Structures are given as C-alpha cells and as structure tokens.
Amino acid sequence: MKLYDWDFAPNCRRVRMYMYEKGIELPKKDVITPEIKLNDGYADYYPHYMVPMLELDDGTQIGEALSIWIYLEEKYPTPPLMGVHPVEKAMISAWERRAYDEGIVGHAEIFRNSHPNFVDRGLPGHRLKIEQIPALIERGKHRVTHYYEKLEKQLATNNFVVGDRFSVADINAVIVVDFGLALEMPVPDIYPNIQSYYDRLKDRPSVKRSMTKHMPDGTPIPQAA
C-alpha cells in the first residue's frame, strides 16, 4: 500500500494521525508542487484530483480520509478508533462529522477564499477555474464558532470528545484547532474546556508526529517547530 499525501492538508493529516495511533507504517508520497498544486503526474493518475489517496497493492485507489479510515479499521481493528458498540459508533460518527463539516470545512473556506495561490481554485478536486468568494471567509468563521460552541459543552463532561477513549472524533477536533492556529486563529478564551483538552492532547505522539510542518508556501508553522 502507498499513501499519496500533502503535509499541510488537514484531510491528509487525519489519515496520518490515524495511522500513527494504530501503529501502521506505510510509504507516503507528497504530490504537491511549490506552487501548491497537485503535480501533473498525480493529477492525471488519480481522476478525483484530490489527496489523500490510499493505493492498494492490487491498484485499487481509495480516496477520502473517512473511506481510508473505514478500510484500515477493518484491517487493523486494534485499538478501535471508530467505536465498538452501536451507540459508541454512532456518537463517534456524529462528532466526527460535526468537526469536519463545521470546523475543518469552516477553516478551509477561510483559507481557500483568502490565499493568493488559490485564486480561481475555490473548491478542491476541480480542474476548471472556480473563483474565490470573499464572503465565504466570514461564513467560515461562523461555522467554526458554531462547532466550538458545541464542543465546549461536550468537553465539560467528557475526557475525550466521546467518552473516555481517543477516537476519530478527537483526530478531527485536534485538527480543527491546529488548522486555526496555522491561520492565526487560536481558540478564543471563552472556550476553556477546548483549550484544556487541546493542551492535554497536543503532546500525544500521534498528534506531534502527524503535525503539519509548514504553510503551503513553505513558511514554518510556529507550533510545529
């Protein structure tokens, strides 16, 4: 198996952190150019034009972080990161999606609609020009705030996002915070439970090892130093 990767992309980091939690070691290939574009070879090789992508030994290509998690969870069930019993699985899935749809995508709206290298690249996975929409920057901020409001309450009574065990819901939650830090948008002081939770998890081996090292233009990220 081989993982096609991009150091900065939160969706790629979701897979890296998951693999490190499981103790899975796979060859990785970064497919982003200095201009922050997929290199031509990969763009022609993978029709969905996105990362991450896990390629199996038989040539099967599995895209999307969640789909890669599902595949690897079946092959490497220990430790369980997507739940064990039905209620736990459902709750982890719900909180994983809240973090992704509101937190990660919210920050992505801010990033894609403000970064100069993403002019005419307002959506991922498209080879045609799609204009940036500045109004989506403010909408992205509202989405992140909406997630933080929910997460703050959830962490008031839970050591992890769902109960007492680290899961993919925590992978996404940590990435939301770190994506914000990369965009110079730290967790606001009105969310002490989130900050305390992040402070506990930021030195976890999988969190540190999967950490994005630099912004897309190569500028080092301070917390990754």
Dihedral pair phi/psi, residue 41, rounded to 5°:
-60, -45
Cβ-Cβ contacts under 8 Å for 175 (sequence gap 6 or more): 10, 13, 14, 17, 99, 103, 104
pTM for the model stands at 0.92
Whether residue 223 has pLDDT greater than 70 = no
CA–CA gap between residue 109 and residue 139 (Å, rounded):
8
Instruction: Give me the pLDDT at residue 220, please.
Output: 72
CA–CA gap between residue 130 and residue 189 (Å, rounded):
36
Q: Which domains does the chain have, with CATH numbers?
A: 2-75 (3.40.30.10), 86-212 (1.20.1050.10)
- Tens digits of residue pLDDT in 75-126: 999 999 999 999 999 999 999 999 999 999 999 999 999 988 788 777 777 7
Span 156-165, mean pLDDT? 95
DSSP state of 104: I
Packed helices 105-112 and 168-182: angle between N→C axes, nearest 10 degrees = 30
Instruction: Give me the pLDDT at residue 173, please.
Output: 98
Q: What percent of the chain has pLDDT over 90?
A: 76
| Torsion angle of C-alpha atoms 178, 52, 35, 202, degrees rounded to 10 | 20
Dihedral pair phi/psi, residue 36, rounded to 5°:
65, 45
> 45: which 2 tokens?
């090789």
Instruction: Give me the pLDDT at residue 129, please.
Output: 85
**What secondary structure, in 3-state letters, does 71-82 show?**
HHHHHCCCCCCC
Mean pLDDT of the chain: 92
CA–CA gap between residue 92 and residue 212 (Å, rounded):
24
- Tens digits of residue pLDDT in 194-214: 999 999 999 999 999 999 877
